[in-house]
């Protein structure tokens, strides 16, 4: 019989040189990580692999030789550490992370939060499936059972016979604060929503523009959801009768995501809700699976765009800020879909209109996330630049047209000087 673990039981499960996998966001097991840090002298050469860590920790900051952190997507807890060259960041496309982990790590153990066990002996990973659900039954799992974690549906169920042990730690889930919607966001969202039809399936992320888009879709009908992250606004669309998923080509009637991150309203909505299913990211974000949704619409954000249409979405001012996530997964997925449409959104300027985000060249040190061959539509508060299938010269013209008026003349002059414009 699987037993509840005490501290020494837990430490005894961790071999020297172990690679421990920790999920994204609220899958992060607070108490399990506390115990590792508190007993770090008993560990040797242990590495924790994680995307989007929620909390700063001594081991993340490199304070222990015995316990290291490797990031696959930066967050507020890891960004400064990486920028100080004290931590590794592994580039990736989100749907490839499970396969990558199998290739580059020992896959020694997965530590994750779970909802309490039901009468049939099943826990669920709650707000999660992400890159860990794929390994249920294949890799030892240690669970941090939290009665605040919602019980959810999908391929994130784990039986007591499939775990190495568990501890109990009840804690309120971390909530994402909603971004304030500005007038510019509303103008961007208006352009995007004008292209969304009844019955379309949406991938929509977090932030002020997605929030604005959601607020404008409540009168739509038969929308579907196939998204990597499930945000708060989906609850409002369901309650408004806009989302029912009846016209989806895969998983009809179901809201599909690989993790959820929002407020308590969202966590209450997914609790025991059979309409929401969490599936491994290797399925949700696979461009081949995305393309099966013939009318998929993808809405994402970037920080700057050059006149070729290259999007730097993971750096700010040439410094690493996040990572690729699933942006290119969906950029390619919508391209393969019969009627797919992709939108990458940004406000036209930064720093009180003093810097154009549409540029002749990306800032030095910037990293291209979505390349010129994968980008579809770029959107600012001045409209949409439709880039697919047009020449480089025409792309430049269309992008200059949605740049802030203060920078259009300069961009046009520099583009002609560079030989981009004909």
Distances (CA, A) of 98 to 281, 338, 422: 8, 28, 45
Q: How far apart (Å, rounded) are the C-alpha atoms in residues 44 and 330?
A: 39
Given a contact cutoff of 8 angstroms between Cβ atoms, the answer to whether 129 and 135 are in contact is no
Distances (CA, A) of 274 to 7, 258, 278: 36, 15, 10
Give SS3 for 370.
strand
Q: Dihedral sign, CA of 74, 76, 77, 83? A: positive
Given a contact cutoff of 8 angstroms between Cβ atoms, the answer to whether 280 and 317 are in contact is no
Q: How far apart (Å, rounded) are the C-alpha atoms in residues 278 and 284?
A: 9
Residue (of 162, 129, 166) closest to 146 by Cα position: 166
Active site residue 183: no
Tell the residue number behind the tokens 């010269």, with chain if given: 393
Catalytic residue among 28, 228, 277, 293: 228
Q: How far apart (Å, rounded) are the C-alpha atoms in residues 43 and 66?
A: 6
Q: CA angle, corner 344, sides to 339 and 350, nearest 5? A: 165
Q: How far apart (Å, rounded) are the C-alpha atoms in residues 112 and 28?
A: 6
Structure tokens given for 163: 């775990």
Q: Is the backbone of residue 307 left (phi > 0), alpha (psi -120 to 50) or beta?
A: alpha
Q: Which residues form the catalytic set?
A: 228
């Amino acid at each position: 019989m699987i037993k509840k673990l005490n501290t020494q039981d837990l430490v005894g499960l961790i071999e020297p040189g172990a690679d421990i996998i920790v999920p994204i966001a609220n899958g992060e097991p607070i108490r399990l990580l506390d115990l590792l840090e508190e007993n770090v002298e008993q560990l040797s050469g242990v590495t924790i692999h994680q995307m989007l860590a929620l909390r700063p920790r001594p081991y993340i900051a490199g304070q222990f030789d015995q316990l290291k952190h490797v990031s696959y997507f930066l967050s507020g807890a890891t960004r400064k550490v990486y920028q100080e060259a004290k931590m590794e960041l592994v580039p990736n496309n989100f749907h490839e992370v499970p396969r990558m982990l199998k290739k580059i790590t020992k896959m020694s153990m997965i530590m994750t939060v779970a909802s309490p066990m039901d009468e049939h002996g099943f826990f669920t990973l709650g707000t999660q499936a992400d890159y860990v659900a794929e390994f249920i039954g294949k890799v030892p799992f240690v669970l941090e059972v939290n009665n605040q974690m919602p019980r959810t549906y999908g391929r994130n169920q784990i039986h007591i016979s499939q775990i190495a042990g568990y501890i109990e730690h009840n804690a309120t889930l971390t909530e994402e604060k909603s971004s304030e919607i500005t007038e510019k966001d509303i103008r961007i969202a208006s352009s995007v929503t004008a292209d969304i039809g009844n019955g379309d399936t949406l991938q929509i992320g977090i932030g002020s523009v997605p929030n604005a888009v959601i607020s404008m879709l409540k009168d739509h009908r038969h929308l579907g959801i196939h998204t990597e992250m499930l945000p708060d606004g989906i609850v409002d669309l369901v309650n408004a009768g806009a989302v029912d998923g009846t016209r989806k080509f895969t998983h009809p009637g179901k809201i599909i995501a690989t993790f959820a991150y929002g407020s308590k309203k969202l966590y209450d909505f997914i609790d025991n809700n059979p309409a929401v299913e969490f599936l491994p990211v290797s399925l949700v974000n696979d461009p081949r699976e995305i393309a099966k949704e013939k009318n998929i619409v993808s809405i994402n954000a970037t920080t700057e765009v050059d006149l070729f249409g290259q999007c730097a979405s993971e750096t700010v001012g040439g410094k690493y800020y996040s990572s690729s996530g699933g942006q290119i997964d969906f950029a390619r997925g919508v391209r393969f879909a019969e009627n797919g449409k992709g939108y990458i959104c940004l406000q036209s300027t930064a720093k009180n209109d003093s810097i154009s985000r549409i540029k002749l060249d990306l800032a030095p040190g910037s990293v291209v996330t979505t390349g010129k061959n994968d980008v579809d539509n770029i959107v600012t508060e001045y409209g949409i630049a439709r880039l697919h299938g047009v020449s480089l010269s025409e792309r430049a013209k269309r992008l200059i047209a949605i740049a802030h008026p203060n920078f259009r003349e300069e961009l046009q002059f520099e583009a002609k000087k560079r030989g981009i414009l004909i």
